[in-house]
A and B are shown apart, each in its own frame.
Chain A
Amino acid sequence: MVTKTEETELNQLENQVENGGGGDWEYLCLVRKLKVRRSEIVFKHGLSILNDPGKRSALGPEEWTLYEQVAIAAMDCQSLGVAQNCIKALQKKFPESKRVGKLEALLLEAKGMWEEAEKAYTSLLEENPLDQVIHKRKVAMAKAQGKASLAIEHLNKYLEVFMADHDAWRELAEIYVSLQMYKQAAFCYEELILTQPTLPLYHLAYADVLYTIGGLENLISARKYYAATIDLTGGKSTRALLGICLCGSAIAQLSRGRNKEDKDMAAPELQSLAATALEKEYKQKAPAKLSLLSSALRSLKLS
Chain B
Amino acid sequence: MNLGFLIGVLGVLILSHAAYSTIQYRGLLKITEEEFSGPPMNVVLELIVGLALCMWAALTFPGKFLSIHPDSDENRAVSLPDNSDFMIFNHRGRLFPPEIDMKF
- Interface residues in B68-89 by Cβ distance below 8 A to A read 69-71, 73-89
Could you tell me if A43 and B102 are in contact, using CB atoms closer than 8 angstroms?
Answer: yes
Taking CB atoms, residues of chain B closer than 8 Å to A198 are 70
| B-side contacts of A3, CB under 8 Å | 73-78
Give the Cβ gap from A82 to chain B, nearest Cβ, in Å.
Answer: 5
Q: Is the CB of B104 within 8 A of A82?
A: yes
User: Quick check: A35 and B81 within 8 Å, CB to CB?
Assistant: yes
Q: Which residues of B contact A37 (CB under 8 A)?
A: 82, 84, 87
Segment with Cβ contacts to A, from B38-46, B52-60, B90-98? B90-98
Q: Does A66 contact B (CB under 8 A)?
A: no
Q: Determine whether the beta carbon of B74 is less than 8 Å from that of A4.
A: yes
Interface residues of B, dominant DSSP: loop
Quick check: B78 and A82 within 8 Å, CB to CB? no
Whether a CB of chain B sits under 8 angstroms from the CB of A125 is: no
Residues on B with beta carbons closer than 8 Å to the beta carbon of A143: 86, 88
Cβ of B64 within 8 Å of any chain A Cβ, yes or no, is no
Bound-state CA distance A5–B74 (Å) is: 5
Q: Does A273 contact B (CB under 8 A)?
A: no
* Shortest beta-carbon distance from B65 to chain A in Å: 15
Size band of the B side of the interface? 20 to 34
Smallest Cβ distance from A111 to chain B, in angstroms?
9
- Inter-subunit contact A144/B83 (CB<8 Å): no
In the complex, are the beta carbons of B90 and A77 less than 8 A apart?
Answer: no
Q: How many residues of A contact B (CB 8 A)?
A: 50
Contact stretch, chosen from A133-141, A177-185, A253-261, A288-296: A133-141
**Cα A72 to Cα B88 with chains together (Å):** 11
Cα–Cα distance between A136 and B70 once the two chains are bound (Å): 31
**Chain A residues positioned under 8 Å from B90 (CB to CB):** 112, 144
A171 in complex: contacting residue of B70, B71, B79, B83, CB < 8 Å: B83
Residue of A nearest to B97 (CB): A78
> Complex formed: what's the CA distance from A2 to B73 in Å?
11
| Residue of chain B at shortest CB distance from A7 | B78
Per-position 1/0 for B8-19, Cβ under 8 A of A? 000000000000
Chain A residues at the B interface, C-beta cutoff of 8 Å: 1-5, 7, 34-37, 40, 43-44, 47, 50-51, 72, 75-79, 81-82, 85-86, 109-110, 112, 132-133, 136-137, 139-141, 143-144, 167, 170-171, 198-201, 232-236
13 additional A-B pairs beyond A133-B85, A167-B86, A234-B71, beta carbons within 8 Å, are A1-B77, A1-B81, A4-B74, A4-B78, A7-B78, A37-B87, A75-B89, A81-B104, A140-B85, A199-B77, A232-B71, A233-B70, A233-B71
